[in-house]
Structures are given as structure tokens and as C-alpha cells.
Amino acid sequence: MGYTLVEKILMKNAGVDHVSVGDIVITRPDMFMVHDIYTCYLVDALKNMETEELDDPSKVTIIFDHCMPTAVAKNDSAHYDAGIYLTEKYGLDRSKIHIGEGICHSIMHEKRYAKPGQIATATDSHTTTYGGAGCFCTGIGTTEMAAALTTGELWFKVPEAIKIVLKGHLKPGVTSKDVILKILGDIRSDGGQYKSLEFVGPAIKDLCMDARFTVSNMALEAGAKCALFPADERTAEYYDMDYSEIEWVHPDEDAEYEQVLEYDLDELEPQLSCPQGVDNVHSIDEVKGRKLTEVYIGACTNGNLDDMRIAAEVLKGKKAAPYVRLIVAPATNKVYKEAIKAGYIRTFVEAGAVIIHPCCGLCCGMPYGLLADDEVILSTANRNFIGRMGTKKTLIYLGSPAMAAYSAIKGEIADPREACQEA
């Protein structure tokens, strides 16, 4: 009997030659990430444990990305001071302290902190993102983080796994965001609870790394413990690695799965998550025509360079509807700079967009576009919970960068496939 990908990664890290679903394994994670919101809680937890030194300070990164304004984090004195205290008290590597450089999850793979076949944990739910590169990554609480930083160890229960087979090819105007929204609509918000979602199939080779990160990021909305893509040549190129180093990062052909789901991407239509829950998913034909107040392109889900490219190609030479606020948030400073170089930022500005500093921003309910009662937004973020981006009466739709860009032009939720036909 073969092993699922999550089983293989846990086995390798734990140094054991066999695991079964439900087993408890003791691991030594390769990387730990804490973002600004949780620095204060982590300080308290470490003090309560009377921790004087960490097992391996070189494995820790602190990223200031949630609290505003991130570019001048000193203004958020409580979280900033806590982060600096942790750095100085425990001898953290200052090169791994990122202030106002972008969203934590994008930085984690951009800086190559979370690599294929490794284990990474962080104090944030969307840590599943790095699974797009075959990294077992999951969110943990601050007390768990404090214990893990102190001991260097963390136990996991080996999760069940769902095999998701992707076939065919995405049509113009359809993206990886539509793939994961379709899956979320099918399995619902609890369908992946403490499970590994493992993506295989011939369609994977066509997905760039940013697209894979998008899928793994939003798998969390199904309750997934992790969401894993096998490593391939594209993965090796992204991480500047020899493929032979990570060739093992794939599930065995005879691995046993709780269930197997198959999707033909040739038949996939643009999808939307509708108010008020991420798994309230409908195809574009059921929702198009809904008038919009605002469009937001960004977040760790769809703020990467390929997302900027997709949106810019739709917006090139066009203007956002005059009554629609269009806000673009590159995920990191690196993405911002590369988007400037590629001409994407110029396109956004000429389309009437407001470009904001790389940060979580509106996705976590911070400034840069908060909405009032009865206003309607189409966002590329990963959650549309009640009150997430404004008042409790704000209506939040989630869609792809292509859909967001075309809808901004039309002033209403619109089918991005029509933009491709117009081009």
C-alpha cells in the first residue's frame, strides 16, 4: 500500500517508515511564521512558559502585514514593540523580520521560507497557501506556537486525504480561483475538516505557481488541514532547486484516499462565492448583472504577479465604471515593483484604480475600501463573512482577478469570458 503526500511528508520529517490515518507523529517543523496581530499573544505565552531561549531562532520569521499602516509599523506600537521584543530577547535573525514588505503568506513562498517537502506552521489560518509547492503547512494557535518554538517539536494527527483530479484545460477567462471556488461549492465549508486535499492530474502542469498557491490558500475554507500539490519541474524552477531533490514530493499511485473527486476544466465556468458564506458558490450565469459599488483586487489569494497580469490584460485601455471604486493591492513590494516594470500599475492607474501599499488591507477589515450598509463589493480575497469588509449589511462577492477587472469596467458582476471575446 502506498502513501498520500501528507503521509510521506510527515513520515520523512518524523523519521519513521510507516504511518496510518489517525496516528500521532512528532515532527520538527522547518519554519515558523508569526504575523503582527499575534506578537503580543506570543510574548505572553512565552513568558507564562518561562521560556528563556528558543530551540532554533533561525527558523522564525515575523511579518508585519495586518495592522495599519504596515509601512510605518512603529505607529502600531503594541504589536511593533512585541515583535521587536521577541527579536531581541530570543536572538531572531533580523533579515527574517519583515516590516511593511507585504502579505505574510506571499512573503513565505517569495522568500523561499516554506519549501517543497518541508513542514511550515504559522499563526494564521491561510498558512495552507504554501501547499501549492508541496509544503505541509498549517495554522496553529499562539500557545501551540510558543510550545513549538521552545521545544522545536510539534505533534500532528495524520489526516485523512481527499484526492482531487484535475483534467482538461482552463478556457480563456477562467482561472484557478474558479477551480477552488467550484470545489468549495461542492464539498462545502466543512467537507475538508482536518483533511489533506491533494491535487493531481494532467491539468496541473498548466497551472503556474501563483495559480497553485491560490488553490491551496482557499482550501482552508473547506476546513482543510493542508492542501498539497505534487512538486514538478515548474516547482523546482520557482525555488531554484534541482528537481531530483524534490522528486519524491508526490503521492504514491496506490495511496488510499477517503474519496476521489474529478473535475474537467474544459467544462468549468467562472464561479462566484456569494453572500454570506464562502461555500455559497454559483456560476456566473446565476449572478451576473448585480450592480457593484467597489472592486478589490489583491490579498494573499490573488495579489501575486500573475494575478496582476490577468487583471491588467482585461483593463488595458479601459476605464472602470464611474460609480465603482477600483482598488488594487499588490501582495508584496516585489510584486509591486515587478508590476510597475511590466506596465500593469500604469494600466490600473489609467483605468481609474487606487493602488495601495502591499498589505492585507481590506481582506482583514482594515482601511483602504471599507464599505457601508447595502454597498456591494466583488473581491478577489478569500472570505466574505458578514462584516468582514465593512458593516454587517455590506454584501461581499468573491471572484477571480479576471472577473473583478471586467466587472469593474461594466459596473456590475460580468462574465470575464466576454472580455476575451472583445479583445
Q: Pick out the residues of the known binding site.
A: 300, 360, 363
Distance CA 64, CA 258 (A): 38
**Longest CA span, the chain:** 64
Identify the burial level of 50 via C-beta atoms within 10 angstroms of its C-beta, where 0-12 means exposed, 13-18 middle and 19 or more buried: exposed
Amino acid at 192: G
- Please give the Cα distance from 298 to 278 (Å, whole number): 17
> Is residue 338 packed enough to be buried (19+ CB in 10 Å), middle (13-18) or exposed (0-12)?
middle
What are the φ and ψ backbone dihedral angles of 172, each rounded to 5 degrees? -55, 135
Return the residue matching grid coordinates 478589490: 296
User: Residue 285's CB: how many other CB atoms inside 10 A?
Assistant: 10
Q: Which of 18, 260, 1, 236 is nearest to 134 (CA)?
A: 236
Extended beta strands in 195-331, E state:
195-200, 226-228, 259-264, 271-273, 281-283, 294-297, 325-328
Amino acid in position 117:
G
Name which of 233, 231, 235, 239 is nearest 209 in CA terms.
235
Binding annotation for [4Fe-4S] cluster: 300, 360, 363
